[in-house]
Amino acid sequence: MKISDTSDSLTEYADQLLALAKQEGAEEAEVFGVLGRSVDIDLRKNVVELASESFHRGLGLRAVVKGAVGFSSTSDMKLLASVARSAVRAARARGSDESWRSLPFPEKAVQPEGVFDAQLEGIGPEVCIDQAESMLQGCAEVQGVEPVSGGVVCASGTSFVINTHGIELLETSTLMHASLETIARGADIATGSEFQNSRTLLTSLGEVGKAAAEMGRASLGGVKAESGTFEVLLKPLAFAELLESTLLPSLSADSVQKGRSSLTGRVGEIISAESLRVMDDGLLAGGMDSSAFDGEGVPSQKNVLIEEGVLKGFLYDSYTAGKEGLRSTGNAVRSGYSDVPRVGIRNLIVSSPVAHDLLAETKGYLVNGLIGAHTANSISGDFSVEARNGFWVMPGEEAKPIRSLMLAGNIFDLLRDIEVGTDRRMVGAIVTPTVKVRMKVVGS
């Protein structure tokens, strides 16, 4: 859709801001705009603590002068002249950047499926409250467990990018997120949690509440874990948390170019088990970060990163791609209009042509989540984390809850002997099944 096709005045302000930047002396300029609405329901114990509806809009301007980029943003459309002046002044203050090539030029973009739901766009607080209360009802089906906190978020918004090279792209999308934390009481105390993400309306969240409660109840009566080197099943949430702080930084071209990646210079080498495939797909149907274009207006695409264990390449935005004379992979991401683009994943998908029913064949530990994954070394891939909702598992036997378990290792060592399960799940922008790895564990 062309910017001129929308009736919203925010796009008219964006055109004005682009013109003002050129008047101030910008050689290139780009405006990123967001117009959004969000309904948030906060749960505290077994009641709705807060229901709110919020609206936001704003524009972010990147101005380029002699290869230097300046940035400014605003939610006040009366300040457009000041925003343009500030961005150009910031660019001039930085001085010339020899690595800069150009803002993107127009290319054909493909609209992904399943990223917009008219029902979700028009949803009211009353419906969201009903959905949140259905989570509480699901939790109440499990005796001895109480909800602690959680909530439901229903959001819709329009984002667009225009620049002085002729890019005019606009997209409207929706998303929904629900989560619940629970506490179970017996001879001891244990916690549980569950969540659900979707780009379309979730019609019933009772199973989310019930699953959170069942996890808490199953975690009661934890026993001391044996220390040593064991097979460990990392459920989707746990593996996604680990990937986010270890492998993903090393797949960013920005990290590679700054010497902060263990994978520098290793394209074409075997870095994992041959059965592992890792791909980033900005066009994944219903993906949480799917969009026709990235934060700079570059068309989204599929990027194979690891294939049959071989490192195939890295993720680029326009700046990092320009440094190497390459084309952006469509991986410029932003957290909002007040944020400059940076290299990031879109929908990182972990898969394998040889998937297994891992639980049926594992003697070791099963871990549902992690505590402290953010403390991992993003360069070396070393980590030491605490397991959340851990269990001892053996084929044919009921899982036994573990009181406390520490996990330590290196992500690149784990990848060399990894097995992939069949229960693929979206955890934010990471799509992964349970995986089986072998690592050191310390029980207490």
Does residue 357 carry a pLDDT above 90?
Answer: no
Q: Is 283 found in the same domain as 189?
A: no
At residue 361, the pLDDT reads 87
Whether residue 242 contacts residue 234, with contact meaning beta carbons closer than 8 Å, is answered with yes
29 confidence band (pLDDT: 50, 70, 90) = very high
Q: Is 212 found in the same domain as 245?
A: no
At residue 148, the pLDDT reads 98
Over range 274-297, report the average pLDDT: 97
Task: Tally the domains of the chain.
Answer: 2
At residue 8, the pLDDT reads 65
**Which of 218, 243, 258 finishes a domain?**
218
At residue 6, the pLDDT reads 42
Which residues does residue 155 pair with via DSSP β-bridges, in sequence order?
A: 38, 175
Q: Is 270 found in the same domain as 214?
A: no
Secondary structure of the chain in HEC code, one letter for each residue: CCHHHCCCHHHHHHHHHHHHHHHCCCCEEEEEEEEEEEEEEEEECCEEEEEEEEEEEEEEEEEEECCEEEEEEECCHHHHHHHHHHHHHHHHHHCCCCCCCCCCCCCCCCCCCCCCCHHHHCCCHHHHHHHHHHHHHHHHCCCCEEEEEEEEEEEEEEEEEEECCCCEEEEEEEEEEEEEEEEEECCCEEEEEEEEEECCCCCCCHHHHHHHHHHHHHCCCCECCCCEEEEEEECHHHHHHHHHHCHHHHCEHHHHHCCCCCCCCCCCCECCCCCCEEEEECCCCCCCCCCCECCCCCECCEEEEEECCEECCCECCHHHHHHCCCCCCCCEECCCCCCCCEECCCCEEEECCCCCCHHHHCCEEEEEEEECHHHCCCCCCEEEEEEEEEEEECCCCCCEEECCEEEEEEHHHHHCCCEECCCCEEECCEEECCEEEEEEEEEC
197 confidence band (pLDDT: 50, 70, 90) = very high
Q: Is 330 found in the same domain as 204?
A: no
At residue 187, the pLDDT reads 87
Residue 57 included in any domain:
yes
Over range 143-160, report the average pLDDT: 97
Q: Can you read off the two tokens belonging to residue 89?
A: 């002044």
At residue 427, the pLDDT reads 97
Residue 54 included in any domain:
yes
CA–CA separation, 63 and 67 (whole Å): 10
At residue 319, the pLDDT reads 97
At residue 340, the pLDDT reads 96
Residue 334 included in any domain:
yes
Q: Is 357 found in the same domain as 242?
A: yes
Residue 97 included in any domain:
yes
Over range 16-35, report the average pLDDT: 98
Q: Is 116 found in the same domain as 17?
A: yes
Residue 438 included in any domain:
yes
Q: Is 233 found in the same domain as 190?
A: no
Range of the domain at 385: 228-443
Q: Is 190 found in the same domain as 152?
A: yes
| CATH code at position 159 | 3.30.2290.10
> With pLDDT > 90 as the criterion, what percentage of the chain qualifies?
94
Q: CA angle, corner 41, sides to 40 and 43, nearest 5?
A: 145
For the chain, give the mean pLDDT: 95
Residue 223 included in any domain:
no
Over range 214-220, report the average pLDDT: 97
At residue 168, the pLDDT reads 97
**Which of 218, 238, 261 finishes a domain?**
218
pLDDT greater at residue 6 or residue 399: 399
Does residue 20 carry a pLDDT above 90?
Answer: yes
Name every residue whose Cβ is closer than 8 Å to that of residue 434 and which is 6 or more positions away in sequence: 233, 234, 235, 236, 239, 358, 359, 421, 423
Q: Is 143 found in the same domain as 254?
A: no
pLDDT in tens, 86-115: 999 999 999 899 999 999 999 999 999 999
At residue 5, the pLDDT reads 41
At residue 1, the pLDDT reads 38
Q: Which of 32-41, 170-179, 289-298, 351-360 is least confident?
A: 351-360
pLDDT greater at residue 129 or residue 361: 129
At residue 138, the pLDDT reads 97
Q: Is 241 found in the same domain as 173?
A: no
**Which of 191, 218, 245 finishes a domain?**
218
Does residue 214 carry a pLDDT above 80?
Answer: yes
Residue 72 included in any domain:
yes
Residue 432 included in any domain:
yes
Q: Is 403 found in the same domain as 334?
A: yes
Does residue 390 carry a pLDDT above 50?
Answer: yes
Q: Is 120 found in the same domain as 23?
A: yes
Does residue 159 carry a pLDDT above 60?
Answer: yes
pLDDT in tens, 243-272: 999 999 999 999 999 999 999 999 999 999
